[in-house]
């Protein structure tokens, strides 16, 4: 009996081994796309950006002054405006960050010669002359076609100060604030919609407990009033990374009608202060950063679960208004300026993170990459009159196709990216269908060495043909410099087949692909 069983099992074992070898050789990942009428729309505001008075973000970045030889509009750099318009930037957050809770907006309006000089104690102890204030920022937003997102001072400010700022920006009447705005050159109110109340109030914004901030928030939110023609959207300072207790207390203690959104901040970094070079790293460094980035999924899901407990109808948005990579500053630069380069590793972070935000679009309605220019995971770097676009810029430009498109939920089991006995999912993906009926599928392969083959069943999408673009390069460390600004760029991609409603694509190592079907 035993001998007979052995004889019968041997051919079966050989078949199993052969099949396993064939599957490993094919290494094909099947992705299923669902068309769900109840799926959420991916808000364009997930593609927001951030401009803090930090290092060379505002001064020598966005703003060079009216007397600069660099082409500008009232001191605002024209080439940066045009580049960001290419990203269809939907909103811009300002003036911070930590700076917001030491910023007093009245210092930044009126004749520039009369504006007081202060010290930026958070970022490099440099002097701030307030030449870029409310009027300049709101003009920048008008040039960009972006919604302003103003962060109010709770840490060192007052309720009256925030109340006055809202009135100054939004009231069309004859109050002292409205008259002051008009005297400073702005006849019509801007009607600013998005208002942050506090920033990182658990830390640089006041080192508060969640219970204390929840009560304080209720007070500030009460006096951040609506005016005729604009109902503002109040965004409460939220948690740092896995500080779930902060979210629990805010959702429990603040009436949901007082919060349009609750923020969370999560950076892809190793330790504090952040360490490691943005360009001089090995595969071990790369794998560690990818692991940290992918933890975003767990962080978001845990905060969302708490919000769902208190707000099952999802009336309060989760606002991820600071995300991105954070390394040691570039050699020879001010440690307080957070200036770093941007490599193919950051392109992976951008693609993965945006895919994760899409997947949770029913709760996440706004997000802001930190930051737009010359700081952290910037999409633009400048040096005097020169400007370059980073790998992150090119990924975000491809992904603009998802803005305000309906999510197409995906189902798949990712192949693994293996390194030193550990593994991570190699493939990240998301898909959407826009109002014109175009389908967009974004794919990221983080594996540092291995290409992956992906098969997508498109039978229920009504697609006749696909085109594709890719961001890829020869080395993980590749980045754009002022001497070689096009080392990493968007290129046409042809390594796919579409036959009998099956899309088969071979995606190279550490690359991001965007497919468009129509």
CA distance 431 to 36: 12
Mean pLDDT to the nearest integer, 316-328? 98
What is the SS3 assignment for 304-324? HHHHHHHCCCCCCEEEEEEEE
Taken in order 123, 124, 125, 126, the sign of the CA dihedral is: negative
Q: What is the pLDDT of residues 295-319, one digit of tens each?
A: 999 999 999 999 999 999 999 999 9
User: In this predicted structure, what is the pLDDT of residue 16?
Assistant: 34
Q: Which of these, 348, 346, 352, lies nearest to 371 by C-alpha position? A: 346
Mean pLDDT to the nearest integer, 495-512? 97
DSSP string, 143-204: HHT-EEEEEE--SS--HHHHHHHHHHHH--SSSHHHHHHHHTT--S-----EEEE-SSTTTT
CB 70 within 8 A of CB 385: yes
Question: 27 pLDDT band (50/70/90 cuts)?
Answer: confident
Residue 14 has pLDDT above 90, yes or no: no
Mean pLDDT to the nearest integer, 329-344? 96
User: In this predicted structure, what is the pLDDT of residue 319?
Assistant: 98
Torsion of CA 420, 495, 356, 207, to 10 degrees: 70
Distance, CA of 343 to chain centre: 16
Indicate where the chain has its CATH 3.20.20.80 domain(s). Answer: 43-404
Question: How distant, in Å, are the alpha carbons of 53, 77, 110 from that of 65?
Answer: 15, 8, 16
Buried b (16+ CB within 10 A) or exposed e, 300-320: beebbebbeeebeeeebbbbb
Mean pLDDT to the nearest integer, 374-380? 98
Q: What angle do CA 465, 471, 474 make, to 5 degrees?
A: 125
Q: What is the pLDDT of residues 390-416, one digit of tens each?
A: 999 999 999 999 999 999 999 999 999
Active site residues: 200, 322
CB 438 within 8 A of CB 516: yes
Residue 366 has pLDDT above 70, yes or no: yes
Q: How many CA atoms lie within 13 A of 67 on its CB side?
A: 1
Indicate where the chain has its CATH 2.60.40.1180 domain(s). Answer: 27-38+408-517
Structure tokens at 88: 């269809």
User: In this predicted structure, what is the pLDDT of residue 216?
Assistant: 98
User: In this predicted structure, what is the pLDDT of residue 279?
Assistant: 98
43-404 has which CATH code? 3.20.20.80
Whether omega for the bond prior to residue 95 falls within 30 degrees of 0, making it cis, is yes
Distance, CA of 238 to chain centre: 16
Average pLDDT of every residue of the chain: 94
Question: 345 pLDDT band (50/70/90 cuts)?
Answer: very high
Residue 24 has pLDDT above 70, yes or no: no
Question: 18 pLDDT band (50/70/90 cuts)?
Answer: very low
User: In this predicted structure, what is the pLDDT of residue 505?
Assistant: 97
User: In this predicted structure, what is the pLDDT of residue 376?
Assistant: 98
CATH topology of domain 27-38+408-517: Immunoglobulin-like (2.60.40)
Give the pTM: 0.94
Residues 6+ apart with CB under 8 A from 467: 492, 515, 516
């Amino acid at each position: 009996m035993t001998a007979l069983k052995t004889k019968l099992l041997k051919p079966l074992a050989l078949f199993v081994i052969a099949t396993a070898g064939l599957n490993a050789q094919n290494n094909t990942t099947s992705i299923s796309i669902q068309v769900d009428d109840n799926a959420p729309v991916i808000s364009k505001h997930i593609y927001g950006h951030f401009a803090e008075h930090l290092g060379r973000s505002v001064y020598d970045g966005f703003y060079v002054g009216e007397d600069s030889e660099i082409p500008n509009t009232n001191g605002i750099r024209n080439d940066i405006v045009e580049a960001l318009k290419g990203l269809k930037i939907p909103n811009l957050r300002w003036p911070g960050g930590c700076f917001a809770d030491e910023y007093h907006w009245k210092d930044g309006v009126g004749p520039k010669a009369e504006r007081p000089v202060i010290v930026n104690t958070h970022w490099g102890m440099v002097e701030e002359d307030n030449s870029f204030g409310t009027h300049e920022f709101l003009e920048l937003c008008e040039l960009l076609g972006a919604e302003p997102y103003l962060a109010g001072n709770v840490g060192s400010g007052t309720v009256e100060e925030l109340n006055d700022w809202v009135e100054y920006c939004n009231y069309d009447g004859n109050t002292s604030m409205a008259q002051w705005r008009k005297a400073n050159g702005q006849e019509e109110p801007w009607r600013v919609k998005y208002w942050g109340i506090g920033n990182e109030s658990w830390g640089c914004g006041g080192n508060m407990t969640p219970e204390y901030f929840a009560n304080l928030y209720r007070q500030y939110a009460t006096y951040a009033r609506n005016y005729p023609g604009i109902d503002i959207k109040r965004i409460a300072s939220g948690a740092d990374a896995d500080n779930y207790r902060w979210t629990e207390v805010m959702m429990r203690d603040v009436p949901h009608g007082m919060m349009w959104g609750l923020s969370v901040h999560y950076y892809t970094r190793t330790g504090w202060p952040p360490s490691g070079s943005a360009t001089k790293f090995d595969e071990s460094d790369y794998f560690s950063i990818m692991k940290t980035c992918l933890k975003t999924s767990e962080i978001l899901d845990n905060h969302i679960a708490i919000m769902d407990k208190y707000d099952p109808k999802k009336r309060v948005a989760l606002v991820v208004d600071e995300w991105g990579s954070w390394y040691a500053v570039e050699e020879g630069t001010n440690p307080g300026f957070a200036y770093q380069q941007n490599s193919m590793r950051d392109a992976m972070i951008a693609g993965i993170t945006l895919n994760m935000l899409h997947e949770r679009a029913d709760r996440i309605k706004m997000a802001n990459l930190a930051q737009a220019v010359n700081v952290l995971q910037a999409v633009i770097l400048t040096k005097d009159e020169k400007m370059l676009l980073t790998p992150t810029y090119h990924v975000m430009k491809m992904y603009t196709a998802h803005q305000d498109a309906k999510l197409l939920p995906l189902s798949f089991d990712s192949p693994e990216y293996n390194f030193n006995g550990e593994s991570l999912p190699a493939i990240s993906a998301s898909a959407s269908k826009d109002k014109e009926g175009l389908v967009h599928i974004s794919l990221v392969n983080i594996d540092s060495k291995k290409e992956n083959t992906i098969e997508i069943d498109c039978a229920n999408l009504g697609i006749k043909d696909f085109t594709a673009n890719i961001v890829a390069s020869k080395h993980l460390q590749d980045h754009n410099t002022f001497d070689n600004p096009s080392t990493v760029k968007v290129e046409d991609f042809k390594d796919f087949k579409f036959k009998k409603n099956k899309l088969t694509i071979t995606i190279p190592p550490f690359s991001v692909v965007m497919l468009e079907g129509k």
